[in-house]
Structure 1
């Protein structure tokens, strides 16, 4: 009975509320989630062992500084197209905490059918602050090959979204 109420509630929430659930369940319209890259507010360059995502090898940021990683999330809409959201996640002693969450309007304007989102590396280790991910999408449902777009966040936090060129 409780699960049915929870599912009904998820279906009535706006998409922004989908990311704030504490019950551990993701709604079925979340089609891709990729965590990648890192950021830190301390300003110092991380040592190689600080780039690791596992807790036993991660060192804490300088006092007062925060650090974390990025997430790209594709959310399917009723018409089959998707919105792509970017989240900045802080790594805290009590667990991950959402620092910011925003819809990437560049993708929304395309009304894309997102077919995949991939991080730059599957190891979780990146050599410098920032993020690089690839979004595969179709602008027409019947298209046979997807377009490739990149989302780049540099070490200063500037975001660049563009069609990939090979």
Structure 2
């Protein structure tokens, strides 16, 4: 079993009694850095990250699962971290997104809906010499390369 798969099991075991929390990503990087990204419907508290870190670290040490020295980082995804799961999209309904597609196209707009197949965004389209028009685009997840939440400081 790979380290990532074992860590996923351990994190899911730890947050099983917390339906508001969900695992976003687990990666073992070169140089011995193990990162775990956890999100929550209402954010993630530092105490949650600490509890997950202690649980995962304890079991990995007990099982001697990683032979070399490693650093374990547990955090919530930052603003610049692309969305990965349908649950993250659900959490960000009504926010502005930047969506890059497989064909190279880029869409920016307000996230209106998300389900297991894709998203619906509302874009403000302005053609040269014409009035701007609001357009709803349905984008399947299979067409999406990367989605990031746009932050506005207005």
Question: What is the TM-score of this pair, normalised by structure 2?
Answer: 0.28
Structure number, greater radius of gyration: 2
Name the structure where helix makes up a greater proportion of residues: 2
